[in-house]
């Protein structure tokens, strides 16, 4: 709310608080009415707390304020507990003195609320108190790191009570099929209890923090032990408390001696917290469907584990990576002759993955023998044995292998077992993603070791089986990437070629089967078989593209064999050309796969593909004309232009391709924002192609396509008004790119601009299209989606203003000048005024015939590409102020832009928007969009 309103409101604080206090002291005989009235009092108080009413109360009197007592007393009433907790949380978050005040109320909270709630399993009360404790920890973490003895007795009593409670739970809780979790929960509390036995020695413990530590930690344990449930909300709600505390401790600036004391003080606490988190994060039987044993991890547990990463990293930093890892590996299960508790192991592997970045950064490798033991045991199990929970274990171990691949692959003896482990895990849907990722990382780190014959056989065998594996495409790409990276490092040229042939054999086979003339008719007679053949061919194309994509990044240039790429091209392109010429390309997935594979092959082979450029562009443009819903052909053509468009000898080819795309019926139909919203992918693909053409082709080639440029700029101006954010921004990006190229050309030829040159062409294009460009850019600032377009709109207007200003210095100012821009802006603004006048007068039949005979004023544009603003767009009197305000800002912004382009210091720094004029223009446009966001954008 405005400041003056808030001040006026808070001036009534004393009156309101007195009224609420008076109401709270009154008693009613009717219990229901009494409780309902108290709830209303609390709701009213909550609103005033949020308004800041307690800021008027002296901090010293706050602990004894009668309304605070009323709030605490309301905690005991079930009907008002939730509102009272809200009030306390709001107070804690707003007033620094409240956490200390609440410290003295811990005894009350414990005896009156927490203990009965734990015994009665009242999740509402436990959840509310957990939220309050978390808020205290976040609001005042410094309290926990400062000395205080006031809470010692409370902490000791509370801790011992919890030890009693958990001890009883070992015998009374029957909701779990096993009591192992309960027994494990008991141990960390014993550890946490030990420092309290030494309080007489004063070893540096900061005692006042124990109530918060113990309550929060016991809520975690209690939720896990005493309240078996699929809801992790209470445990999850305490994480932010611990994160706030850990962040404070890690960032606290103290001397070395004090820092050591802090570490010694809190290490046992966070060590015990780690035990608690590992316990709460266990999947175990909760991840299995009781009826059929299928995996079904509760969403709450999944979210809880995701939220643990930050806290686990903080604990790792506080304890030190070596201590953290050692703690994860503690226990009898790490010895070779002991049974492995898979539930516990899975959680510890999960935690080890979460802290991988921190451990690797510390640079202290640990003993991987335990990991390799798990790898060997899991990979040796039959597929049926790995079903159910073991598949989750497999996944977690694979995540560890991938995260620590650099260290674990440094031992050559580990390579073969790791490859077998990954290959075996890829066959399971749960672990396949982690195993394929781990395989790629291993091959990236140790390709020079992995390319040995016995290891290569495993990889090639894995690659040959992809056709039958039916893995997700991203996982197949990871595997093909791993194999190709290893093949890059093979020094034997013939072995490399034969291995590549084996890897791609099945991919080639699926495409050949599809395009064989004898099979085509029979396949289409069987829809199911035809669909399967199309899918297999598409997957084969994706695998081929992955091979090409990673051949482009060999381990070293000395090992890269160019003739290997030539051999692959010799097999790849004839097959792909036949596919492009076939009717099968009507299938969108197959077209997308073929275009992606082609794009990656072009990037990989570079100049080797140059001789195929005419055929490739012909296939792409022809297929787009045949299947105009497949925008992938436009995108792939843009890749070809980007790679080879700079070569002047192929200029006519690039122009003819541009012309074919622009003449397509689907592109021609982009004549209103409604159509653009229906075809956003087409808009993005076409404007991306035109941007690439303008940016990459030589100036003479761009100049020779003047009519196409004019059409494309007009299309982009229309498309920028689309409601679809991606389509509008893509269109604006092209307009900005076009204007940038135009400005550079005019600047370079400022002294002499000849007819037919690029500078002359763009001046003609803008003189005919500038009016539509301005009106559509302004129109794009209408409605709720306009704010995302402010920056690009400001840039386009600044560039256009700079061009118009620049042309004033040339002999072409009769074609394009500053007055042109002024006229376009006036036309855009005054159309709405004219429309309003017409709308008013045509309501009267007397004036209707006269209005219809009126000549359209000169400032109203007649071009069909101009987008007139809705008559209700501008507010009363706004048109008279917009034009001069905007023109002043545009003039200043144009000056900034030209200065940035002519100054050697700023030429490449993109600082034009940072000048005073650029900033002013952007601010004006942002304000304009903000004040008109509620105007409906008609389509």
pLDDT value for 905: 53
Cα dihedral 213→216→220→221 (10° resolution): 60
Query: Which residues does residue 288 pair with via DSSP β-bridges, in sequence order?
Result: 295
pTM confidence score: 0.74
| Inter-residue contact 117 to 222 (CB < 8 Å) | no
- H or E segment and range at residue 400: helix 389-403
907 inside domain: yes
Compute how many other C-beta atoms are within 10 angstroms of the C-beta atom of residue 320: 15
**Residues 6+ away with beta carbon under 8 Å from 73:** none
pLDDT value for 398: 97
Provide the CA 81 distance to its chain's centre, in angstroms: 38
401 inside domain: no
> SS3 for 96?
coil
**Helix %, strand %, coil % of the chain (to 5):** 75, 0, 25
The residue among 273, 306, 327 that closes a domain is: 327
Reduce the secondary structure of 113-170 to three states and give it as a string: HHHHHHHHCCHHHHHHHHHHHHHHHHHCHHHHHCCCCCCHHHHHHHHHHHHHHHHHHH
Distance CA(702)–CA(704), nearest Å, equals 5
Domain match, 760 and 719 both: yes
Reduce the secondary structure of 801-827 to three states and give it as a string: HHHHHHHCCCCCCCCCCHHHHHHHHHH
> SS3 for 295?
strand
Domain match, 161 and 232 both: yes
Domain match, 724 and 777 both: yes
| Inter-residue contact 514 to 579 (CB < 8 Å) | yes
Domain match, 102 and 35 both: no
pLDDT value for 253: 57
Q: How many helices (DSSP H) and strands (DSSP E) are in the chain?
A: 47, 0
**Residues 6+ away with beta carbon under 8 Å from 823:** 771, 859
Domain match, 139 and 44 both: no
Burial class (CB in 10 A: 0-12, 13-18, 19+), 330: exposed
**Residues 6+ away with beta carbon under 8 Å from 87:** 42, 45, 46, 49, 71
φ, ψ (nearest 5 deg) of residue 12: -100, 10
* CB neighbour burial string for 456-484, b if at least 16 within 10 angstroms, e if fewer: bebbbebbeebbeeebeeebbbbbbbbbb
Domain match, 809 and 861 both: yes
367 inside domain: no
766 inside domain: yes
Nearest to 700 by CA among 736, 740, 735, 650: 650
813 inside domain: yes
pLDDT value for 205: 32
Domain match, 32 and 138 both: no
Domain match, 147 and 85 both: no
Distance CA(854)–CA(282), nearest Å, equals 80
Domain match, 787 and 854 both: yes
Nearest to 365 by CA among 409, 333, 335: 409
CA distances from 622 to 645, 661, 690, 711, 929 (A): 19, 9, 18, 21, 42
Contacts of 695-700 spanning 24+ positions with Cβ under 8 A: 695/737, 695/741, 696/641, 696/642, 696/645, 696/646, 697/641, 697/645, 697/646, 697/651, 697/654, 698/646, 698/648, 698/651, 699/745, 699/757, 699/758, 700/648, 700/651, 700/758
582 inside domain: no
655 inside domain: no
Q: Which two tokens stand for residue 57?
A: 């109360």
The residue among 307, 327, 347 that closes a domain is: 327
Number of domains in the chain: 3
Nearest to 794 by CA among 667, 918, 615: 918
Let me know the angle formed at the C-alpha of 472 by 469 and 474, rounded to the nearest 5 degrees.
125
Distance CA(862)–CA(856), nearest Å, equals 9
Kindly report the length of the chain: 939
> SS3 for 751?
coil
Distance CA(42)–CA(82), nearest Å, equals 10
pLDDT value for 126: 74
The residue among 95, 116, 137 that closes a domain is: 95
**Residues 6+ away with beta carbon under 8 Å from 211:** 103, 106, 151, 154, 155, 158
545 inside domain: no
Q: Which two tokens stand for residue 938?
A: 């008609």
Ramachandran quadrant class, 289 (left: phi over 0; alpha: psi -120 to 50; beta: rest): beta
Domain match, 55 and 199 both: no
Helix locations, 780-915, DSSP H: 790-807, 818-841, 845-853, 878-902
Domain match, 85 and 116 both: no
- H or E segment and range at residue 843: none
Tokens 């009591």 locate to 179
Distance CA(486)–CA(296), nearest Å, equals 37
Distance CA(623)–CA(585), nearest Å, equals 8
What crossing angle do the helices spanning 321-328 and 342-354 adopt, rounded to 10°? 160
| Inter-residue contact 263 to 294 (CB < 8 Å) | no
| Inter-residue contact 211 to 109 (CB < 8 Å) | no
Q: Which domain range does residue 729 map to?
A: 709-939
Mean pLDDT by 10 residues, the chain (939 residues): 62 80 78 83 86 72 78 86 87 73 70 77 76 68 49 36 38 37 36 34 34 39 39 64 77 60 73 83 66 67 89 92 92 75 93 96 91 94 86 95 94 93 93 95 87 88 88 93 88 84 90 78 82 93 91 50 70 91 93 95 82 94 96 97 94 96 96 93 97 96 96 96 94 96 93 91 95 93 86 95 93 92 87 44 42 37 46 70 90 90 60 72 90 63
**Residues 6+ away with beta carbon under 8 Å from 835:** 868, 870, 871
The 8-class DSSP code of residue 875 comes to P
Nearest to 747 by CA among 821, 806, 812: 806
Distance CA(327)–CA(582), nearest Å, equals 62
Domain match, 727 and 868 both: yes
């Amino acid at each position: 709310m405005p400041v003056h309103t808030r001040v006026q409101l808070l001036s009534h604080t004393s009156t309101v608080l007195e009224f609420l206090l008076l109401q709270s002291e009154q008693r009613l005989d009717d219990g229901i009415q009494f409780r309902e009235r108290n709830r209303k009092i609390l709701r009213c108080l909550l609103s005033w707390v949020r308004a800041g009413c307690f800021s008027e109360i002296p901090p010293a009197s706050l602990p004894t304020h009668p309304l605070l007592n009323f709030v605490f007393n309301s905690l005991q009433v079930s009907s008002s507990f939730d509102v009272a907790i809200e009030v306390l949380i709001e107070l804690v978050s707003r007033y620094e003195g409240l956490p200390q005040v609440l410290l003295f109320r811990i005894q009350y909270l414990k005896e009156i609320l927490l203990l009965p709630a734990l015994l009665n399993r009242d999740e509402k009360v436990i959840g509310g108190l957990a939220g309050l404790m978390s808020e205290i920890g976040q609001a005042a973490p410094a309290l926990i790191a400062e000395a205080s003895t006031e809470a010692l007795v409370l902490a000791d009593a509370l801790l011992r009570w919890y030890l009693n409670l958990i001890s009883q739970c070992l015998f009374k809780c029957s909701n779990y099929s096993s009591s192992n979790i309960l027994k494990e929960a008991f141990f960390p509390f014993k550890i946490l209890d030990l420092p309290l036995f030494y309080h007489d020695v004063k070893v540096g413990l900061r005692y006042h923090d124990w109530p918060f530590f113990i309550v929060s930690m016991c809520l975690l344990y209690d939720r896990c032990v005493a309240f078996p449930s699929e809801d992790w909300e209470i445990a999850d709600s305490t994480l932010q408390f611990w994160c706030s505390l850990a962040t404070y401790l890690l960032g606290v600036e103290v001397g070395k001696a004090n820092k050591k004391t802090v570490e010694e003080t809190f290490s046992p606490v966070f060590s015990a917290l780690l035990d608690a988190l590992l316990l709460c994060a266990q999947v175990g039987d909760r991840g299995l469907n009781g009826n059929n044993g299928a995996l079904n991890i509760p969403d709450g547990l999944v979210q809880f584990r995701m939220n643990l990463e930050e806290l686990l990293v903080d604990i790792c930093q506080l304890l030190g990576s070596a201590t953290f890892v050692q703690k994860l590996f503690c226990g009898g299960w790490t010895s070779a002759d002991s049974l492995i508790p898979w539930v516990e192991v899975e959680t510890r592997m999960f935690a080890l993955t979460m802290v991988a970045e921190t451990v690797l950064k510390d640079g202290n490798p640990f003993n991987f023998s335990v990991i390799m033991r798990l790898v060997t045991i899991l990979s040796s199990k039959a597929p049926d044995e790995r079903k159910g929970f073991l598949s989750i274990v497999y996944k977690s171990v694979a995540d560890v292998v991938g995260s620590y691949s650099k260290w674990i692959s440094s031992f050559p003896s580990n390579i073969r077992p790791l490859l077998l482990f990954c290959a075996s895990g890829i066959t399971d849907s749960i672990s396949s993603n982690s195993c394929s990722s781990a395989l790629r990382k291993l091959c990236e780190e140790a390709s020079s070791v992995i390319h040995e014959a016995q290891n290569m056989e495993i990889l090639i065998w894995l690659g040959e089986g992809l056709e039958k594996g039916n893995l997700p495409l991203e996982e197949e790409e990871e595997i093909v990437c791993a194999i190709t990276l290893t093949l890059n490092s093979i020094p034997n040229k013939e072995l490399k070629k034969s291995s590549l042939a084996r890897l791609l054999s099945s991919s080639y086979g699926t495409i050949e089967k599809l395009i064989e003339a004898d099979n085509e008719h029979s396949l289409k007679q069987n829809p199911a078989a035809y669909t399967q053949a199309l899918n297999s061919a598409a997957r084969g194309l994706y695998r081929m593209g992955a091979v090409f994509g990673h051949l482009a990044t060999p381990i070293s240039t000395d090992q890269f064999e160019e003739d290997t790429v030539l051999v692959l091209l010799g097999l790849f392109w004839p097959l792909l050309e036949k596919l492009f010429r076939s009717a099968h390309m009507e299938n969108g997935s197959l077209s997308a796969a073929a275009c992606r594979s082609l794009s990656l092959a072009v990037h990989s082979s570079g100049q080797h593909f140059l001789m195929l450029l005419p055929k490739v562009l012909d296939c792409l443009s022809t297929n787009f004309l045949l299947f105009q819903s497949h925008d992938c052909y436009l995108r792939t053509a843009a890749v070809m232009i980007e790679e080879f468009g700079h070569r002047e000898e192929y200029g006519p080819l690039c122009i003819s391709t541009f012309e074919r795309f622009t003449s397509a019926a689907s592109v021609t139909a982009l004549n209103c924002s409604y159509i653009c919203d229906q075809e956003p992918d087409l808009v993005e693909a076409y404007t991306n192609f035109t941007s690439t053409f303008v940016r990459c082709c030589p100036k003479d080639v761009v100049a020779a396509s003047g009519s196409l440029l004019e059409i494309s700029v007009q299309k982009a101006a229309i498309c920028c008004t689309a409601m679809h954010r991606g389509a509008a921004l893509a269109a604006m990006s092209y307009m900005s790119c076009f204007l940038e190229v135009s400005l550079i050309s005019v600047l370079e030829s400022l002294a002499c601009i000849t007819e037919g040159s690029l500078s002359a062409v763009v001046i003609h294009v803008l003189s005919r299209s500038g009016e539509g460009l301005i009106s559509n850019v302004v129109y794009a600032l209408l409605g709720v989606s306009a704010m995302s377009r402010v920056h690009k709109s400001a840039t386009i207007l600044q560039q256009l203003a700079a061009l118009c200003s620049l042309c004033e210095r040339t002999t072409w100012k009769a074609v394009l000048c500053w007055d042109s821009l002024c006229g376009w802006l006036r036309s855009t603004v005054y159309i709405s005024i004219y429309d309003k006048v017409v709308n008013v007068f045509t309501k009267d039949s007397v004036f209707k015939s006269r209005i219809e005979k009126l000549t359209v004023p000169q400032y109203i544009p007649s071009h069909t590409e101009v987008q007139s603003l809705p008559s209700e767009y501008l507010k009363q009197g706004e048109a008279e102020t917009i034009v001069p305000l905007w023109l002043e800002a545009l003039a200043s912004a144009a000056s900034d832009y030209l200065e940035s382009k002519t100054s050697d210091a700023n030429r490449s720094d993109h600082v034009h928007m940072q000048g005073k004029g650029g900033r002013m223009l952007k601010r004006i446009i942002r304000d304009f969009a903000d004040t008109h966001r509620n105007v409906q954008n008609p389509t």
